Amino acid sequence: MVTYFKQAYLEIATFIFRALDTIKLEEIEKFVKTIEEIYRANKKILVVGVGRSGLVGRAFAMRLRHLGARSYVVGETITPSVEEGDLLVAISGSGSTQIVVAAAEAAKKMKAKVAAITTYYDSPLGRLADLVVFVPGRTKLASMDDYFARQILGIHEPLSPLGTLFEDTSMVVLDAVVAELMKRLGKNESELARRHANIEVP
């Protein structure tokens, strides 16, 4: 019998629901407008993230491709070089993931725009970015001292470990951005389906 499943499910779902109160719609508007401008100018959108944040980035790049955007994932062999006027979407809860920050630095040198999806404005990535989309989340492990203090006080660690809350919330935020883009670009589900992969690998 599962013991913690429902509790964890509710913890994650509640966090994502409440996150909407802290997400700034003006940041979402700027992000959507930037992607729309890049799309209409036929420039590239490159997405970078590491670990689970990277998987969220891949899902976002896939949907952008379904919309007809020239989207790529940084690190893939078929990803072209970044050029002036392109957009790099960099995903890092801490804003200090070395590979992500290095990619942002490289993009800035080539005069591309950088959009950061992060929890921390005052982070290396946040400071580099042309625009920041704040996404709340628990992105750090508690220190050993904090751990023992929490145990003494009877406060337990959340059931969503490490960066789960940031990653899951980022996924929902970016999927909602895709929905907004669909309407603004006049796309429908059948158009997206035509661009969906039709060669399946067993």
Catalytic residue list: 167
Per-position b or e across 32-45, b if 16+ CB within 10 A of its CB? bebbeebbeeebbb
Handedness of CA 64, 65, 69, 74 (dihedral sign): positive
Distance CA 71, CA 37 (A): 14
Q: Residues 6 or more apart from 2 whose CB is under 8 A from it? A: none
For 65, phi and psi rounded to 5 degrees?
A: -65, -40
